[in-house]
Amino acid sequence: MPRVLDVRARGIDFRCLSAGEGPLVLVLHGFPDDPTSFTPLLSALAEAGYRAVAPWLRGYGPTGPAPDGDYSIAALAADAVGLIEALGEAEATLIGHDWGAISSYAAANLAPTRIRDLITLAVPPLRAFLRDVRAAQLRRSAYIGLFQLPWIAERRLQADDFALIDALWRAWSPGWTPPPERLQAIKETFRRPGTVDAALAYYRALPPRLGQLRAWRRSQQLALAPLQVPAMVLAGERDGCIGRELFTATAEASDAPVELHVLPRVGHFMHLEDPATIHRLILARLADRGGAPRPSPAT
């Protein structure tokens, strides 16, 4: 089982789950989620000979809030790079889901020499996303507009014991029933002081705002530039959050080789819906590009 690890990076105390020894693999979660959803993957990575670390992202309790109130994509990218350094490594493979994927793309462009390889789940590069946005996707993404509304969004997210979290998980992974204990664990994270405000701040940093224009411009540069690091992108055929058509231009959004897999019968939370397939693809990718794991002890 992964152990708890506290790491200080960029002025923030990050609570992490950690398992194994070997080449570093940093696993970044999304919304509405936390790193405990990746416990099976962390264990699989550790068993295969890797050091797997999954932080609660900035502002997600028990990780500390952003000291400067910055929840922009640029700040998230810098966190990923800062965590690699704070963990004592020169480079790492990044695995990111949802917001973790967005952060990973930007981190790869921020510090390509620090990112050995990139594996993302459920979100294409934003350059590809914006190229193929259609009416159907705008309807799927309507919640982002809700999240821009002060006070209303906070109340809506917390209402009825975070019923919106249940609704989003079911809508984004249609045909799959999330385990109740998984949803309860995520709600415990969201009950921690500051987590709701921070999670919404990620979305509120997407449009330009007075006082945040420098961070917004830097985020645009990092998120929309062609990828500079080879990547494997995993998409769910049934994803109710990000339509599979948004991944069409994935290769064109990168200056480095990109391997795209559209997986049948899974939705947005594919790492829990079909862990055997996800683990197999990730471990195969790591064997090819992620650095050799430690050798087995001689018998």
Say which CATH number the domain at 13 has.
3.40.50.1820
Residue 240 within a domain:
yes
Which stretches in the chain have pLDDT values below 70? 290-299
Residue with tokens 């509405």: 32
CA distance 289 to 46: 17
**How distant, in Å, are the alpha carbons of 44, 169, 181, 276, 297 from that of 126?**
29, 22, 32, 28, 43
Residue 60 within a domain:
yes
Q: pTM score > 0.85 for this model?
A: yes
Domain tally for the chain?
Answer: 1
**How distant, in Å, are the alpha carbons of 4, 29, 110, 162, 293 from that of 47?**
17, 21, 30, 35, 10
Residue 103 within a domain:
yes
| Res 120: pLDDT | 98
Structure token digits, residue 75:
């700040």
Residue 42 within a domain:
yes
Residue 295 within a domain:
no
Residue 17 within a domain:
yes
Residue 12 within a domain:
yes
Cis peptide before 125 (omega within 30 of 0): no
| Res 290: pLDDT | 54
Note down the domain range covering 178. 3-289
Residue 294 within a domain:
no
Structure token digits, residue 217:
């411009």
| Res 299: pLDDT | 29
Find the angle CA(262)-CA(264)-CA(269) to the nearest 5 degrees: 80
| Res 12: pLDDT | 98
